[in-house]
């Protein structure tokens, strides 16, 4: 066996330890021989392995070869790297080999640093130093696969580390060694190297300083460390990148004498450094007091400008001290004082107002600046300042009512597009309705032409034959209809049960929870009919989807029996799903003239799509048409259509292994929450409506049960609350996914009929989750007078109490809604939200509670709202001085007209 064959064998068998043992024994002549042949090894490995894959997978070998060759190189990466270190003679070529894409593989195991250093130790010292420095310069981030190796080679070779920032971060992240030769060179660079702070962000002071905090404080001169921290602060960056240096500065705890020479730098940090850095700087400025007056004004201006309440409060405290010490210089601090009026913290704003009143005599010459800044204050606080500095009438002038845009105009529904058997650029449900209408008309008008047009699509699908014992997908139903037209009898009939077979109900596929203990029972005729017509058990479909597949199954049966009508009745007139009564009568007349009765499910769907209310003129016209379907339509048109069902919902949660309805004793924690639909409808006499569509929806959101939800509003365009009830099981699907989106809400908004708690909880959930696109739909409902605002408030309180959603995102959505012109609707929501969300007896008051009441007080002022809210009134009577109570008093004063 030749040397080359031996080395290749060790590499391809991935015998890394034996390979290292052999490499350390090589002579320089042997290395030179191997070095020239090594690059060709990877090419040969690629070629041989690709040919092997081609032999196994001749049809799709290219993609398979790419994956398998990649896996091979991932496995051999360590051996290839080790070989390059052991044989390549030129340092530059060695580093190129080590970092090339064939060796430095993303998904390969990390290099065996000890083995590589062992092999490298046999190379000449100059070669090792050169390779170590070149490899160190290739490091881009601490997580690089080559970073630990570069650090180890620098230590082992004694090379001077290059001035390369990523190397510093990589060294900090690498395992430590005793008496590290790199420490004297790299440790001082932590203050300047980008990425060093990020690598050190997890260093801690407690219970004792960790590795690098202790090392820097021990190894470097104190003055150098302080200068390094301050210079790093001045360079700026994110808080996590500066965390180590903040803690290091705290560890050193500089004395006032040490801080004094750096005072200008600390002052420069106050306005815009991250909060933790600014706190450190403020502490050093405080230790240096008393300050020069100009420096003090600069510091106070910077601190009152900051968002952090703690820092702004510090600035106001220094301001107060400065005014008391030098009253004649109070004018220099007016800007800082009025800046604090607009602070997001109530306590800061209130303290600034108190200081203004406290020192009001010193601000007599600055009335205009103070009055200009008052609108940033809460109304009651601003009123006190306005009364002191502006005289009578100033309050109303300064605290003006906000202006809001008008609500949008309600768009008119669009006309439904013409029927077509080819998909268009419309919603899926629209294209399905178009296809069904075009198919029925095409069969009646020119069956041969329709067959010719569909034949290419049928032939294209001949290789795909899914299980068709049950068909729930509308697209598959369309394929079945097309096949039956082009190649009649392609799908065999499902035979009835034989005389010796047990006539039992059988559930196939998904079994809902309440049927998992299902025992076979005699099969009712309706279930046998569904089985024979390839319809699944009703529990596998939501009612609106069940209606759709019933219509397809009905079309298929009529096509096979040769009883298709000349026209489909239920095709909508408008994109809301509504059907014009006169258009329905035209179609009934066409069917009567052909002597064909319309299909049963088609007629039921058509009646459900009629506009709400009675249509006496259309009823008279229907009575003159000689068909059973027309007589049914006449009765429907003469009445008021389908009576509005009783719709609602129940909240339940998991207790043990059972879902239990919520009661007044709401638990602190629960594992799962579910919305149970409530639907009770008076019988209409139509089996499809009464037994399929208006059955009690399941509370189980099974797989695929929510598909095609976008078309549900068009099934019941005059009874949208029924549709909302059917959507309830899909609202709380999980933290990251819900089937009910603003798209589905938009469909409900475009329809007609009363809205109630089911629609409200959908809107509440979308507002609480800040789902993009919600606000325009809610505004459109508000403009049409269809927004159930009070119900939304009630349900939003429950959503925020019983799900993972939180107050602040919901409040942000309500703010957006108010700013867009829905401020009156927002107040109606808040009026019922507050009693349900504010903390009860023994419950903790949180900052979001406070912010919500403050927002409500603003909205009440914008809308001129009146009418006491008992829970707010009770909190307003509290003697506590916290901001929450203050905001309750402000809201209560607005609602009752009493002084706050």
Written as one string, the DSSP assignment of 283-325 is HHHHHTPSPPHHHHHHHHHHHHHSS-HHHHHHHHHHHHHHHHH
Instruction: Give the whole-angstrom CA distance, residue 179 versus residue 182.
Output: 9
How does residue 796 score in pLDDT terms, banded at 50, 70 and 90? very high
Query: Residue 611 above 90 pLDDT?
Result: yes
Q: Are 580 and 440 within one domain? A: yes
Q: What is the pLDDT of residue 867?
A: 95
Q: Is residue 754 part of a domain?
A: yes
Average pLDDT over residues 197-221: 94
Q: What is the pLDDT of residue 523?
A: 46
Q: Are 295 and 281 within one domain? A: no
Q: Are 823 and 807 within one domain? A: yes
Average pLDDT over residues 379-404: 68
Q: Is residue 688 part of a domain?
A: no
Average pLDDT over residues 676-699: 93
Q: Are 485 and 475 within one domain? A: yes
Please give the residue that has the higher pLDDT: either 849 or 383: 849
Q: Are 603 and 493 within one domain? A: yes
**Region of poorest pLDDT, from 271-275, 508-512, 758-762:** 508-512
Which residues are within 8 A (CB) of 201 and not within 5 positions of it... i.e. 6 or more apart? 240, 241, 243, 244
Query: Residue 376 above 80 pLDDT?
Result: no
Query: Residue 140 above 50 pLDDT?
Result: yes
From residue 79, alpha-carbon distances to 111, 348, 549, 777, 869 in Å are: 9, 65, 61, 62, 76
Q: Is residue 879 part of a domain?
A: yes
Q: Are 548 and 489 within one domain? A: yes
Residue 116's closest CA among 24, 31, 39, 33? Answer: 24
Which tokens hold the place of 881? 């001085």
How far is CA 714 from its chain centroid?
A: 28
Query: Residue 653 above 90 pLDDT?
Result: no
Query: Residue 707 above 60 pLDDT?
Result: yes
**Region of poorest pLDDT, from 253-262, 559-568, 699-708:** 699-708
Instruction: Give the whole-angstrom CA distance, residue 49 versus residue 719.
Output: 65
Q: Are 714 and 814 within one domain? A: yes
Q: Count structural domains, the chain.
A: 6
Looking at 376, 398, 420, the residue that finishes a domain is 398
Which residues are within 8 A (CB) of 532 and not within 5 positions of it... i.e. 6 or more apart? 493, 494, 496
Q: Give strand pairing partners of 493.
A: none
Average pLDDT over residues 103-107: 89
Q: What is the pLDDT of residues 279-302, one digit of tens each?
A: 999 999 999 888 899 999 999 999
Q: What is the pLDDT of residue 524?
A: 66
Which residues are within 8 A (CB) of 221 and not within 5 positions of it... i.e. 6 or more apart? none
From residue 353, alpha-carbon distances to 301, 335, 342, 446, 879 in Å are: 16, 13, 11, 84, 21
Q: Is residue 180 part of a domain?
A: no
How does residue 467 score in pLDDT terms, banded at 50, 70 and 90? low
Q: Are 845 and 811 within one domain? A: no
Query: Residue 695 above 60 pLDDT?
Result: yes
Q: Is residue 419 part of a domain?
A: no
Query: Residue 397 above 60 pLDDT?
Result: no
Q: Are 538 and 438 within one domain? A: yes
Q: What is the pLDDT of residues 68-81, one digit of tens each?
A: 888 889 999 999 99
Q: What is the pLDDT of residue 53?
A: 76
Residue 847's closest CA among 806, 889, 805, 795? Answer: 806
- The runs of H, that is alpha helices, within 461-593 are 474-486, 525-532, 543-561, 581-593
**Region of poorest pLDDT, from 431-435, 520-524, 660-664, 757-761:** 520-524
Q: Are 278 and 358 within one domain? A: no
Q: Is residue 133 part of a domain?
A: no
The CB-side HSE value for 848 (13 A sphere, CA atoms) comes to 15
- Which residue range(s) make up the domain with 378? 290-398
Instruction: Give the whole-angstrom CA distance, residue 513 versus residue 681.
Output: 25
How far is CA 355 from its chain centroid?
A: 44
Which residues are within 8 A (CB) of 748 and not within 5 positions of it... i.e. 6 or more apart? 713, 720, 723, 724, 755, 759, 762
Looking at 398, 416, 437, the residue that finishes a domain is 398
Residues comprising the chain, all counted: 900
**Three-class DSSP labels, 757-776:** HHHHHHHHHHHHCCCCCHHH
Average confidence score pLDDT of the chain = 89
Which tokens hold the place of 608? 């459900």
Strand order in the sheet with 673-680: 658-661, 646-655, 673-680
Q: Are 794 and 847 within one domain? A: no
Q: Give strand pairing partners of 543.
A: none
Q: What is the pLDDT of residue 738?
A: 53
Q: What is the pLDDT of residues 562-598, one digit of tens each?
A: 999 999 999 999 999 999 999 999 999 999 999 999 9
How far is CA 3 from its chain centroid?
A: 60
Which residues are within 8 A (CB) of 103 and not within 5 positions of it... i.e. 6 or more apart? 77, 80, 81, 84, 97
Query: Residue 706 above 70 pLDDT?
Result: no
Looking at 109, 128, 150, the residue that finishes a domain is 109
Q: Are 360 and 441 within one domain? A: no
Q: What is the pLDDT of residue 900?
A: 61
Q: Is residue 125 part of a domain?
A: no
């Amino acid at each position: 066996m030749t040397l080359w064959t031996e080395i290749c064998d060790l590499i391809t068998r991935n015998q890394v330890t034996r390979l290292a043992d052999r490499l350390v024994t090589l002579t320089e002549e042997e290395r030179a021989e191997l070095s020239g042949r090594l690059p060709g090894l990877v090419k040969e490995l690629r070629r041989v392995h690709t040919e092997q894959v081609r032999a196994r997978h001749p049809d799709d070998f290219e993609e398979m070869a790419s994956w398998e060759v990649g896996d091979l190189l991932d496995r051999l990466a360590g051996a290839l790297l080790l070989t390059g270190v052991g044989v390549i003679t030129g340092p530059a070529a060695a580093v190129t080999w080590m970092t090339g894409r064939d060796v430095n593989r993303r998904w390969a195991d990390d290099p065996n640093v000890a083995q590589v250093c062992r092999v490298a130790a046999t190379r000449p010292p100059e070669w090792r130093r050169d390779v170590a420095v070149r490899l160190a310069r290739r490091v881009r981030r601490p997580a690089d696969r080559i970073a630990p190796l570069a650090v180890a080679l620098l230590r082992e070779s004694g090379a001077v580390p290059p001035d390369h920032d990523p190397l510093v971060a990589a060294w900090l992240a690498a395992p430590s060694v005793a008496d590290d030769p790199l420490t004297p060179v790299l440790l001082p660079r932590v203050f300047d190297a980008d990425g060093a702070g990020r690598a050190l962000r997890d260093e801690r002071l407690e219970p004792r300083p960790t590795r690098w905090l202790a090392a820097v404080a021990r190894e470097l001169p104190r003055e150098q460390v302080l200068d390094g921290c301050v210079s790093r602060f001045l360079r700026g960056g994110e808080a996590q990148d500066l965390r180590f240096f903040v803690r290091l500065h705290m560890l050193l705890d500089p004395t006032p004498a040490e801080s004094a020479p750096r005072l200008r730098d600390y002052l420069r940090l106050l306005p815009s450094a991250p909060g933790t850095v600014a706190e450190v700087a403020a502490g050093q400025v405080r230790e240096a007091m008393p300050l020069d007056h100009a420096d003090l004004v600069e510091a106070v201006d910077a601190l009152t400008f900051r968002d952090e309440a703690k820092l702004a409060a510090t600035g106001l405290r220094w301001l107060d001290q400065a005014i008391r010490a030098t009253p004649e210089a109070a004018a220099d601090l007016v800007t800082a004082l009025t800046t604090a009026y607009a602070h997001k913290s109530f306590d800061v704003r209130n303290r600034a107002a108190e200081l203004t009143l406290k020192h009001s005599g010193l601000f007599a010459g600055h009335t205009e600046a103070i009055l200009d800044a008052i609108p940033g204050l809460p109304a009651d606080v601003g009123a006190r300042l306005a009364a002191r500095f502006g005289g009578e009438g100033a309050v109303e002038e300064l605290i003006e009512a906000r202006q809001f845009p008008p609500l949008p105009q309600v768009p008119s529904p669009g006309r439904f597009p013409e029927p077509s058997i080819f998909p268009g650029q419309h919603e899926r449900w629209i294209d399905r309705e178009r296809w069904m209408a075009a198919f029925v008309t095409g069969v009646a008008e020119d069956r041969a032409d329709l067959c010719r047009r569909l034949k290419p699509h049928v032939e294209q699908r001949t290789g795909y034959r899914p299980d068709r014992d049950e068909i729930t997908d509308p697209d598959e139903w369309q394929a079945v209809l097309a096949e039956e037209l082009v190649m009649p009898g392609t799908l065999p009939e499902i035979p009835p049960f034989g005389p010796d077979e047990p006539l039992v109900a059988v559930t196939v596929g998904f079994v809902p929870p309440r049927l998992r203990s299902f025992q076979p029972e005699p099969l009712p005729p309706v279930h046998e009919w569904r089985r024979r017509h390839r319809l699944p058990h009703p529990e596998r479909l939501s009612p609106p989807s069940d209606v759709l597949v019933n219509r397809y199954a009905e079309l298929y049966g009529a096509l096979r029996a040769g009883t298709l009508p000349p026209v489909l009745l239920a095709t909508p007139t408008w994109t809301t799903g509504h059907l014009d009564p006169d258009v329905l009568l035209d179609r009934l007349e066409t069917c009567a003239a052909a002597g064909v009765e319309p299909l049963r499910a088609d007629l039921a769907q058509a009646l459900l799509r009629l506009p709400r209310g009675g249509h006496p003129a259309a009823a008279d016209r229907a009575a003159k048409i000689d068909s059973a379907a027309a007589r049914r339509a006449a009765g429907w048109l003469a009445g008021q259509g389908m009576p509005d069902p009783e719709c609602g919902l129940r909240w339940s949660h998991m207790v043990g292994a059972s879902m239990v309805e919520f009661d007044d004793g709401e638990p602190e924690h629960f594992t799962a929450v579910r919305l149970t639909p409530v639907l009770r409808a008076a019988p209409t006499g139509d089996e499809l409506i009464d037994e399929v569509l208006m059955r009690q929806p399941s509370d189980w959101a099974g797989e695929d049960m929510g598909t095609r939800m976008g078309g549900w509003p068009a099934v019941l365009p005059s009874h949208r609350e029924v549709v909302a009830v059917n959507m309830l099981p899909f609202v709380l699907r999980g933290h990251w996914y819900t089937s009910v989106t603003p798209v589905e809400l938009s469909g409900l908004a475009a329809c007609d009929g009363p809205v109630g708690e089911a629609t409200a909880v959908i809107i509440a959930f979308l507002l609480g989750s800040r789902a993009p696109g919600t606000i325009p739909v809610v505004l459109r409902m508000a403009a049409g007078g269809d927004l159930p605002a009070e119900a939304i408030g009630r349900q939003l309180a429950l959503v925020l109490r019983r799900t993972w959603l939180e107050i602040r995102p919901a409040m942000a959505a309500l703010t957006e809604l108010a700013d867009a012109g829905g401020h009156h609707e927002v107040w109606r929501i808040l009026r019922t939200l507050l009693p349900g969300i504010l903390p009860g007896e023994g419950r903790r008051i949180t900052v979001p509670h406070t912010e919500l009441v403050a927002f409500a007080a603003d909205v009440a002022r914008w809308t001129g709202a009146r009418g006491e809210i008992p829970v707010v009134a009770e909190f307003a009577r509290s003697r506590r001085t916290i901001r929450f109570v203050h905001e309750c008093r402000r809201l209560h004063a607005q609602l009752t007209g009493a002084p706050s």
